[in-house]
Chains A and B, each alone.
Chain A
Amino acid sequence: MGSFIARRLLAMVPLLFIITFAVYALVLLVPGDPARTLAGGLHADPAEIVRIRHQLHLDQPLLAQYWRWLTHALRGDLGQSLFQHESVAHGIATRLPLTLSLAIGGFAVSILIGLPLGILAGTRPGTAVDRSATTASSAGIAMPDFWVAIILVVAFAVKLHWLPDIGYVKLSTSPLQWAKHLLLPWIALGLGGGATLARQVRGSLIDALDQDYVRTARAMGIAERRVVWQLALKNALTPAMTILGIQFAYLLGGTVIIEQIFSIPGLGEYILSAIDSKDLPIVQGVVLLTAVVFVVVNLFVDIMYGVLNPKVRVS
């Protein structure tokens, strides 16, 4: 297992290299000139533009700029934001807890909705319960998260005044307020993922329950509860792990719109304004973080495959 993890971690290096370089090059292609903006716009003194360009190393070739960023990043220095008067590391550090709170909560909602619904439908195929669960999960998949968010805001914040519609309270300040402020975003984020998970679990469970070993177990008189929970579900969860892994990584990088709707100043809002202003160090820092999370989550999923299915571990 150790060498497996080491190999996967090593494979991460070229992947991160490619991702960060591609993003660096793409952002440089975006129109606009940060040096001109910082020098005063259209009427900027050309000498001032040259000075700022040089100061920010924007006058260097792409590869040199990238290499400079990379060598600093390897030392843990993600650079200084061009416009936000703070280091990128500090900017990420202050916003990451918010985005993590959102992503983990949304992920939990996905599991809380998806697993029971999938099991319920998968163990009763063709029944009214299955049809209802399938319809509900189809609806969940069809509804975009921003639309769900708006409906939730209108219903629970504007009409009923049960929950706040905007803002964020730190967990350390008030756990109750923290949860109240995040409940609607969690549901908005987790609903679609839960629906996808439910469909996956249902399908896998129906397949698993149709296998010979399940028939044998039933013929041997093993209790149905044990057949489902200990034999079939364990196998049915292996493909669901992939969905969950992708979902978590997606949630971390995909909270942009939800953060906008609920006015939560997380990483999504951070990178969005950075792209607008062509604040390259921020874009690179957030992309690097997201890429690392994607790779680590995938690695975790692979390890969990091994835990759930020894055959995968051996291969």
Chain B
Amino acid sequence: MSARSRLVTIALVVATLAAACSSGAKKPTSGTTATTGGSAVSVTPPTTIGKYGTRVSPGGTPDPNGVLRFGVDFPNVFSANTFDPAASLNSCDKIDQGLIFDTLTTLSPSGELQPGLAQSWEFQPYGTSLTLHLRPNAKFSDGTPVDANAVKASILHLKTSPLRTSLAVITGIDVIDPLTLQIHLSPQDPTPADLLYAFNDLDGMVLAPSSTPTHPVGSGPYTLASADNSRMVLKKNPSSLDAPNYQPAEIDFVNVGTGPPSVAALKAGSIDMTQFMPESLPVVKADPSLGYNVRPSHEYLTIEFRLDTAPVNNQLVRQAINYAIDRNEINNVILGGTGIVTDEVYAPDQTIAFNPSVANEYIPYNPDKAKQLLAQAGFPNGISFSLVIPGGITMSEREAPLLQNEMAKAGITVKIVSVDPSALLTSFYLHKENDAIALPYPAEEEYAREVYDKYGALGYTSKLTGSVQGGQYEQLMIQGQGTLDPATLKTISQQLAQITADKALEAPIAFEAQLLAWNYSKIGGNPNAGSDPCRPDFQGFFIKK
């Protein structure tokens, strides 16, 4: 099993956990009507971080017929032989399917919910209906209109798949008029805000009635021209409303292994652009013919605790563990210094939720403070706990001994238990084996829902690993799930970030970087690595003549 494929397995596990909250039961609360809307997503210039940043492509004239060859590790990224989001087993299918199909909603770079094919919406917090108003004049690539009937048929099609779990809450859909539909939700699980977030992903892709798994038809900026096991060709869809935002006339996804092979292919000229791993950054930087963009992703290394199991059920112990992690060392050794150390569950560019006053609560590394807290907790001679890591993942296997050594200096003995990624769900979560787990975890944009899922009374993960019930924390988690108002969300999410850190419910370590490289001679403009490895940004750059 390759490291990359194991990593993808973990990503699937984590994505499963993250998505799980969409089905978690929530307590209805009263609230006001939330409505939003707006214009198309704008192009954001590449973000820079630390000493790495970006090297953009100077000059050049756009070629209207330009072809982008984008390197992707096919077997580990795309679901084979299908272009039906209902059958998609890999969240990275949105790399290609996201170009073919439009989604009902989208996310801004900072994680705000924005219009997609649905230009606005109405719902009552925890109400049982959600009304969507569709964007007028949208057409599928076969010329048929994207109307309420087509959207209804598409949602019902996706809902037949057990994989599209967020749609299970839908009990019916009424077409009000050609551009309006009302979605009815189960009274047992009324989560209209969650559903809107889910609609920015595979669960919200809109398929034309004529779409099939081998001949997908959507309203996205590209259409599928051909595909086999090593190359997928997408051609520009001139009828797409978003077509002007995308420059390449054609995007060819080319199969190339993750890691050094992708960078070698870039240098050899076999591809024009690719994502790459942090260890290849020095190679990319040293080559003046390559441009690159390094930016923080929303995926962070963390340690999750089993909150119902001693000794990690003790808040002081968890705080001690947080102090006993040398995050800078882990960032430098494991992420090549490209990550952003953190003790907070939200990324710095998730501006609605990120709480600057939380950052550095447990940084820098302080083993003496950890010892002091352990003594306070009644463990003057230290503690011992078992930590699960996904076996076969180079990053995790390198991280484990570092954690062991760092914590040993604080009197914490860590027993590392390596578990095959495919068995993590069963072993740690379902069979409740061991005390904690070290994983890369996505910081989802449904901020309150994310912490509720992990720590709420009825959250999906917390049902298996222990929850924080009652009090202000739970109240905030529930309130936060009922609103999309940015100001309210900001207040609630920042408080949640503060309490999550104060209680040391987990031990966040570092946000990983997202890295994109391209060939200067071929690409102009400002390519952006994006914050999600499964959502590279194909806007903001052009193919040079």
Q: A166 and B255: CB pair below 8 A?
A: yes
**Interface of chain A residues 73 through 100 with chain B (CB within 8 A):** 81, 83-86, 94-95
Residues of B within 8 A of A83 (CB): 79-80, 89
Complex: how many Å from CA A43 to CA B422? 15
Q: A167 and B162: CB pair below 8 A?
A: no
Q: A45 and B162: CB pair below 8 A?
A: yes
Residues of B within 8 A of A41 (CB): 12-13, 16-17, 19-20, 425
Residues of B within 8 A of A276 (CB): 1, 5-6, 9, 422
**Interface of chain B residues 248 through 301 with chain A (CB within 8 A):** 254-257, 260-261, 264-265, 267-271
Complex: how many Å from CA A83 to CA B9? 14
Complex: how many Å from CA A115 to CA B374? 70
With contacts A261-B261, A272-B1 taken as known, whether A161 is within 8 angstroms of B229 at the C-beta atoms is no
Closest to A257 in B: B2
Q: How many chain A residues have a CB neighbour from B under 8 Å?
A: 45
For residue B500, give the distance in angstroms from its CB to the closest CB of chain A. 21
Residues of B within 8 A of A37 (CB): 12, 89
Complex: how many Å from CA A89 to CA B459? 43
Residues of B within 8 A of A243 (CB): none
For residue A183, give the distance in angstroms from its CB to the closest CB of chain B. 14
**A144 sits at the interface (CB 8 A):** no
**B74 sits at the interface (CB 8 A):** yes
**B375 sits at the interface (CB 8 A):** no
Complex: how many Å from CA A269 to CA B260? 17
Q: B23 and A43: CB pair below 8 A?
A: yes
For residue B165, give the distance in angstroms from its CB to the closest CB of chain A. 5
Q: B270 and A167: CB pair below 8 A?
A: yes
Interface size, B (range): 35 or more
**B75 sits at the interface (CB 8 A):** yes
Closest to A94 in B: B229
**A175 sits at the interface (CB 8 A):** no
**A30 sits at the interface (CB 8 A):** yes
**B76 sits at the interface (CB 8 A):** yes
Complex: how many Å from CA A248 to CA B460? 52
**Interface of chain A residues 262 through 277 with chain B (CB within 8 A):** 263-265, 269, 272-273, 275-276
Q: A158 and B267: CB pair below 8 A?
A: yes
Q: A165 and B270: CB pair below 8 A?
A: yes
Residues of B within 8 A of A264 (CB): 230
Closest to B74 in A: A265
With contacts A30-B422, A42-B16, A48-B162 taken as known, whether A84 is within 8 angstroms of B255 at the C-beta atoms is no
**B213 sits at the interface (CB 8 A):** yes
**Interface of chain A residues 126 through 162 with chain B (CB within 8 A):** 150, 153-154, 157-158, 161
**A8 sits at the interface (CB 8 A):** no
Residues of B within 8 A of A165 (CB): 261, 264-265, 268, 270
Residues of B within 8 A of A32 (CB): 420, 422-423, 426
Complex: how many Å from CA A258 to CA B284? 23
A154-194 toward B: CB 8 Å interface, digit per residue (1/0)? 10011001001111100000000000000000000000000
B392-409 toward A: CB 8 Å interface, digit per residue (1/0)? 000000000000000000
**B475 sits at the interface (CB 8 A):** no
Q: B426 and A166: CB pair below 8 A?
A: no
Residues of B within 8 A of A53 (CB): none
Instruction: Specify which of A36, A94, A158, A164 lies most central, judged by the most chain B CB atoms within 10 Å of its CB.
Output: A158
With contacts A37-B89, A85-B82, A157-B264 taken as known, whether A272 is within 8 angstroms of B162 at the C-beta atoms is no
Complex: how many Å from CA A297 to CA B163? 44
Complex: how many Å from CA A84 to CA B17? 23
Complex: how many Å from CA A116 to CA B2? 37
Complex: how many Å from CA A45 to CA B80? 24
Complex: how many Å from CA A260 to CA B228? 16
For residue A227, give the distance in angstroms from its CB to the closest CB of chain B. 49
With contacts A84-B80, A86-B80, A265-B74 taken as known, whether A166 is within 8 angstroms of B261 at the C-beta atoms is yes
**A61 sits at the interface (CB 8 A):** no
Closest to A48 in B: B162
Closest to B76 in A: A273
Complex: how many Å from CA A204 to CA B46? 64
Residues of B within 8 A of A39 (CB): 162
Q: A153 and B1: CB pair below 8 A?
A: no
**B231 sits at the interface (CB 8 A):** yes
**Interface of chain B residues 450 through 481 with chain A (CB within 8 A):** 460
**B246 sits at the interface (CB 8 A):** no
Q: B426 and A153: CB pair below 8 A?
A: no
B66-102 toward A: CB 8 Å interface, digit per residue (1/0)? 0000000011100111100001010000000000000
Q: A275 and B1: CB pair below 8 A?
A: yes
Residues of A within 8 A of B379 (CB): none
Q: A157 and B268: CB pair below 8 A?
A: yes
Residues of A within 8 A of B229 (CB): 94-95, 265, 269
**A40 sits at the interface (CB 8 A):** yes
Closest to B17 in A: A42
With contacts A157-B268, A164-B270 taken as known, whether A260 is within 8 angstroms of B426 at the C-beta atoms is no
For residue A276, give the distance in angstroms from its CB to the closest CB of chain B. 5
Q: A43 and B20: CB pair below 8 A?
A: yes
For residue B174, give the distance in angstroms from its CB to the closest CB of chain A. 25
Q: Which among A42, A44, A86, A278 is the interface contact of B429 at CB below 8 angstroms?
A: A42
Chain A to chain B contacts (Cβ below 8 Å), 24 pairs: A30-B422, A32-B420, A40-B162, A42-B13, A42-B17, A42-B20, A42-B429, A43-B19, A43-B23, A44-B162, A95-B229, A153-B261, A158-B264, A158-B268, A165-B265, A166-B261, A166-B265, A166-B271, A260-B2, A261-B257, A265-B230, A265-B255, A273-B75, A276-B9
- A-B interface, 3 closest residue pairs, ranked by CB to CB distance from nearest: A31-B423, A41-B16, A32-B422
